Chains A and B, each alone.
Chain A
Amino acid sequence: MHPIPAITITRLKEFVRRPEALFWVYFFPVLMIIVLGNAFQNQPIETFNVDVIENDHAASVVDQLSDQSQIKTRLVDVEESSRRLRLGKSVLAITAGPDVEGQKQLAYRFDAKRPGASTAHNTVDDILQAANGRTDVFTAETTQLEESGGTYVDFLVPGLLGIGLMGGGMWGVGFAVVDMRIRRLLKRYMATPMRRSHFLISMMLSRLVFMIPQIALTLLVAYWMFDFRIYGSVAAVVFLVVLGAFEFAAVGLMVGSRAQTIETASGLMNFVMLPMYTLCGAFFSYERFPEIFHPLIRWLPLTPIIDSLRSVMMDGESLFAQWPEILVMTIWSVIPFGIAMLIFRWRD
């Protein structure tokens, strides 16, 4: 047999003979979709904990807020209120004073940086203003987004595919070569006529083969449970996934090119992967980070695969429109591979 199929087949056999690895690679993304998809799909309307400072005038405020299911009020003293605000147990504190010339006297305290605090402030203020006689100037029509293609699952699936490709390349190629180096198996191979290029091609090929069930399973579960649809071309998705797999195989190879202990390898892997988990928009849009970081984030290896998959899957955009992402992914495939070839420790 030619060495490329021979190495690829043994890699696949080793992989399927590790049930725990199969679980993490194949079922973890599925589990994430089920858990996160459910958590966000059946999300109840956000409620706010609002404290009212205990005094003679508190009762009317509590009363006016009482039939709002979105607001949960609680009577507390000043000290307790400060403590609860600090700990995030409530997002807003209201102090009511005696009416002056028929006007209600209110003071709000909140930390605008806390999630929900500003919304709570605006909502509570609107309710109290209306209860005390303010009328709306006009009535606007509002429509809630509910059609498919715009839900959190539609947003999440491309993110999870990207994370799966990253994990696969980093662990499946980068960590695997370090493990072979530590076992002195790489060195043993170097004492045979095996070609280095055959070895590397086989490592990448076996990654591509492992990846097919991983991607398919993720998409099928998203389809069955959440009616997930791909709006763009399937061929474009396949192209992007394969490019993403090569990109992370190359990055993984570079990260694993010199490490000689498991600790070094794990440290390097985490150093590379952890920032990307949060920064690259897998679970929430990176638009939430300050704008000056956006160009930097777009240059990280994980961002373009997620962005381009989202454009194609959710918006049905063409592959050509993804050229900036494809360019970044190509750069991340070629340069790390070249660096890995230059610095790779084959013989020790």
Chain B
Amino acid sequence: MTFAIRCEELTKTYPGKPPVEAVRGISFEVQVGECYGVLGPNGAGKTTTIEILEGLLDATSGSAEVLGMQWGRDDNAIRQRIGVSLQETRLSERLTVEETLKLFRSFYAGGISPVEAMDRVSLGEKKNAWIKNLSGGQKQRLAVATALVGDPDLIFLDEPTTGLDPSSRRELWGIIESFAAAGKTVLLTTHYMEEAERLCDRVAIFDSGKIITEGTPDGLIRSLGAEHVIEFSTDRLLNDDDIQTLRGIESVDQVELLGEDYRVSLGQPHRVLPKLINHLSANEIAMTGLTTRSASLEDVFVAKTGHKLSDD
């Protein structure tokens, strides 16, 4: 089996008082042709890990292999074959889309033409526009185009859709999917569950500098043992007896208080909902909010860490 990325026991500690352990022993492998997602809240060590793999940061310890080569030995050869989109790079505002891509193309020994790179990210019409006049989504697509112009085998995308509106986000997903469809490898970080579920073959969930779980999105959700979630809020707190009663309902897996909402993970909502409502009304507790949905990676994160992944 060929690996595009293989890292073992990566750590990164920033000196200081006290020292900050941004990454605390990360190991994973990404196969050629895979789209691998690194998921986690801000400060989980996602960017530090991806920048070590991009050769932009030196790990404190551990080993990283990219496309079968080692950083520190084959740097130029690796850089010729990877494409990178960093978080928040501000490209030169007074250059056009085409000029920017020509500049980046000049750094690589081989690659696709700037025109083709523009077409892949649907920026052909903006060819002669200055970057300062592009929208946020167009700038982000251009950033991805600068990663594609060297015709890489592997691209690293650090939070490619953060801050974009939903339609720009879907456009970028299409671009990433077509790159992956050509048999190329993608490593992306995100804190959007939906993005990871749609794009990634496998995901690693990061928290506090460690991988807390890894697998396919479906597999991780199934491993919860409960495919549905009911979230509700009440006018007063439930007591321990209430919680015990709810836990006793058939197919209920877990009942937790997260913030001001109760989250119930379960298998069969049509059996649980009537019993939940009966119990609350029998005890004169008013329900002030109710949602039911399928379980997501967010629930996997909650189940593993006991806290929410993000606030949005």
Q: Residues of A with Cβ closer than 8 Å to B?
A: 1-3, 6-7, 10, 13-14, 17-18, 183-185, 187-194, 347
By Cβ-Cβ distance, the 3 closest A-B pairs, closest first, are A6-B106, A183-B90, A191-B84
Q: Using known A-B contacts A1-B102, A6-B102, A191-B86, determine if residue A14 contacts B94 with beta carbons closer than 8 Å.
A: yes
Distance, CA A180 to CA B108, complexed state (A): 20
**Chain A min CB distance to B289 (Å):** 42
CB–CB B88/A185 < 8 A? no
Cβ of B91 within 8 Å of any chain A Cβ, yes or no, is yes
Measured between beta carbons, the chain B residues less than 8 angstroms from A188 are: 84, 86, 89, 91, 146
Cβ of B2 within 8 Å of any chain A Cβ, yes or no, is no
CB–CB B102/A13 < 8 A? no
**Chain A min CB distance to B162 (Å):** 15
Q: Using known A-B contacts A10-B99, A185-B90, A185-B92, determine if residue A192 contacts B56 with beta carbons closer than 8 Å.
A: no
17 contacts between A and B (CB under 8 A): A7-B103, A10-B95, A13-B95, A14-B94, A14-B95, A17-B94, A183-B90, A183-B91, A185-B90, A188-B84, A189-B107, A191-B82, A191-B84, A192-B79, A192-B84, A192-B150, A193-B150
Cβ of B109 within 8 Å of any chain A Cβ, yes or no, is yes
Measured between beta carbons, the chain A residues less than 8 angstroms from B79 are: 191-193
Q: Using known A-B contacts A7-B103, A10-B99, A13-B94, determine if residue A191 contacts B108 with beta carbons closer than 8 Å.
A: no
**Chain A min CB distance to B14 (Å):** 11
Measured between beta carbons, the chain A residues less than 8 angstroms from B76 are: 193
- Complex: chain A residue closest to B93, CB-CB: A14
CB–CB A10/B86 < 8 A? no
CB–CB B89/A192 < 8 A? no
Measured between beta carbons, the chain A residues less than 8 angstroms from B89 are: 183-185, 187-188
Q: Using known A-B contacts A183-B89, A183-B90, A347-B57, determine if residue A192 contacts B104 with beta carbons closer than 8 Å.
A: yes
CB–CB A193/B55 < 8 A? no
Q: Using known A-B contacts A10-B99, A187-B56, determine if residue A3 contacts B94 with beta carbons closer than 8 Å.
A: no
**Chain A min CB distance to B48 (Å):** 12
**Chain B min CB distance to A56 (Å):** 76
Q: Using known A-B contacts A3-B106, A193-B76, A193-B108, determine if residue A10 contacts B84 with beta carbons closer than 8 Å.
A: no
CB-contact partner of A6 in B80, B90, B103, B109, under 8 A: B103
Measured between beta carbons, the chain A residues less than 8 angstroms from B150 are: 192-193
Cβ of B207 within 8 Å of any chain A Cβ, yes or no, is no
Measured between beta carbons, the chain B residues less than 8 angstroms from A185 are: 89-92
- Complex: chain A residue closest to B82, CB-CB: A191
Cβ of B54 within 8 Å of any chain A Cβ, yes or no, is yes
Distance, CA A318 to CA B102, complexed state (A): 45
- Complex: chain A residue closest to B108, CB-CB: A193
Measured between beta carbons, the chain B residues less than 8 angstroms from A187 are: 56, 86, 89
Distance, CA A14 to CA B90, complexed state (A): 14
CB–CB A191/B106 < 8 A? no
Measured between beta carbons, the chain B residues less than 8 angstroms from A6 are: 102-103, 106
Measured between beta carbons, the chain A residues less than 8 angstroms from B55 are: 190-191
Q: Using known A-B contacts A191-B54, A191-B55, A191-B79, determine if residue A184 contacts B106 with beta carbons closer than 8 Å.
A: no
- Complex: chain A residue closest to B91, CB-CB: A185
Distance, CA A194 to CA B108, complexed state (A): 7
Please encode chain B, from 32 to 62, with 1 for each CB lying within 8 Å of some chain A CB and 0 for all others.
0000000000000000000000111100000
Distance, CA A59 to CA B130, complexed state (A): 76
- Complex: chain B residue closest to A189, CB-CB: B107
**Chain B min CB distance to A261 (Å):** 15
**Chain B min CB distance to A11 (Å):** 9
**Chain B min CB distance to A55 (Å):** 72
B69-90 at interface with A (beta carbon < 8 Å): 76, 79-80, 82, 84, 86, 88-90
Distance, CA A100 to CA B108, complexed state (A): 97
CB–CB B99/A13 < 8 A? yes
CB-contact partner of B56 in A7, A183, A347, under 8 A: A347
Distance, CA A187 to CA B146, complexed state (A): 14
Distance, CA A1 to CA B103, complexed state (A): 9
Measured between beta carbons, the chain B residues less than 8 angstroms from A17 are: 94, 130
Distance, CA A192 to CA B103, complexed state (A): 11
- Complex: chain B residue closest to A2, CB-CB: B106
**Chain A min CB distance to B65 (Å):** 17
**Chain A min CB distance to B267 (Å):** 46
Measured between beta carbons, the chain A residues less than 8 angstroms from B54 are: 191
CB–CB A10/B104 < 8 A? no
- Besides A3-B107, A191-B79, 15 more A-B contacts (Cβ < 8 Å) are A1-B102, A3-B106, A6-B102, A13-B99, A14-B94, A18-B94, A183-B90, A184-B88, A185-B90, A187-B86, A188-B86, A190-B56, A191-B54, A192-B104, A192-B107
Please encode chain B, from 135 to 172, with 1 for each CB lying within 8 Å of some chain A CB and 0 for all others.
00000000000100010000000000000000000000
Distance, CA A187 to CA B88, complexed state (A): 11
**Chain B min CB distance to A275 (Å):** 33
Distance, CA A18 to CA B132, complexed state (A): 13
**Chain B min CB distance to A181 (Å):** 11
**Chain A min CB distance to B102 (Å):** 7
**Chain A min CB distance to B87 (Å):** 8
**Chain B min CB distance to A16 (Å):** 9
